[in-house]
């Protein structure tokens, strides 16, 4: 399946959209306020840890996909259905999560870069419920490709979509949780738009790669 050159750009945009989640965005100033006090480079370590966790997911998914390339038409059909379901989840606001258990930088006592790296890796796992539909859609596309390097690259691009805004927030003294909370209120409308697009993408995958081949 040729996903086209726009897929990395779509993955980056998906990362930016993911950070607007109400259970992610308002907490970032709290996390980074504590982290920055432990070292100016600590936010970079957090984003690096976050990227590592997502890249690992991409590698694992690519390995899984490569094992089933001989059943590509079935894998594509399954991925298309997953993308449609994730789109419907966003479109109708199903199964949303509004908190991540009050995680903050204070729960990681290690100072310096190592503590930030561990925090970033943990955030990549804990935030899965918040970014789940978009992340699952990207992983579905990665599984179809079955290419290890492509899978790692695509999830790295996705993590940069998350990470770059995070760094902007981390090093901005004028951004507060309350301000970001107001921005996050508009996440509902953005999710509906993204959900509609995912439904269309899933339907296109089923038609272009499955139905016309039957």
Q: What DSSP line would sit under 146-178, residue for residue?
A: --HHHHHHHHHHHHHHHHHHHHHHHT-TT--HH
Model pLDDT, residue 210: 61
Reference 54, options 14, 112, 82; nearest CA is: 14
Question: Quick one: pLDDT at residue 160?
Answer: 93
- Rounded to two decimals, the pTM is 0.72
How far apart (Å, rounded) are the C-alpha atoms in residues 129 and 3? 26
Residue 156: what pLDDT?
A: 93
- Compute the distance between CA of residue 17 and CA of residue 32 in angstroms, rounded to an integer: 20
User: What pLDDT sits at residue 97?
Assistant: 45
**How much is the pLDDT for 180?**
59
Q: What 3-state DSSP class applies to 103? A: coil
Where are the chain's structural domains?
Answer: 6-72+94-188
Q: What average pLDDT values come out for the chain (214 residues) when binned by 10 residues?
A: 62 86 70 66 86 91 84 80 86 59 47 77 78 83 85 92 86 61 65 83 78 59
Q: Distance between CA 119 and CA 36 in Å, rounded?
A: 13
H helix and E strand count, the chain: 9, 0
Beta strand residue intervals within 44-153, DSSP E: none
Q: What whole-number distance in Å separates Cα of residue 86 and Cα of residue 196?
A: 10
Residue 137's nearest CA partner among 10, 24, 49 is 10
Q: In Å, what is the CA distance from 136 to each residue of 33, 94, 103, 131?
A: 30, 15, 23, 8
* Per-residue confidence (pLDDT) for residue 127, from 0 to 100: 75
Q: How far apart are CA 156 and CA 57, in angstroms?
A: 10
> Residues with Cβ < 8 Å from 40, sequence gap 6 or more?
none
């Amino acid at each position: 399946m040729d996903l086209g050159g726009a897929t990395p750009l779509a993955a980056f945009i998906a990362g930016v959209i993911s950070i607007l989640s109400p259970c992610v965005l308002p907490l970032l100033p709290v996390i980074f306020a504590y982290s920055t006090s432990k070292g100016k480079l600590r936010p970079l370590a957090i984003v690096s840890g976050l990227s590592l966790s997502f890249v690992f997911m991409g590698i694992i998914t690519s390995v899984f996909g490569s094992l089933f390339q001989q059943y590509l038409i079935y894998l594509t059909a399954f991925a298309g259905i997953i993308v449609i379901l994730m789109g419907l989840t966003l479109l109708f606001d199903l199964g949303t999560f509004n908190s991540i258990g009050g995680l903050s930088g204070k729960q990681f006592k290690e100072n310096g870069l190592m503590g930030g790296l561990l925090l970033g890796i943990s955030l990549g796992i804990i935030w899965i419920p918040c970014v789940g539909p978009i992340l699952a859609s990207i992983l579905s596309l990665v599984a179809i490709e079955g290419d290890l390097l492509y899978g790692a690259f695509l999830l790295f691009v996705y993590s940069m979509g998350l990470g770059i805004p995070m760094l902007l927030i981390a090093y901005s003294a004028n951004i507060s949780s309350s301000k970001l909370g107001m921005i996050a209120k508009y996440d509902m409308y953005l999710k509906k738009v993204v959900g509609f697009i995912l439904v269309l993408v899933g339907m296109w995958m089923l038609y272009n790669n499955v139905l016309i081949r039957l």
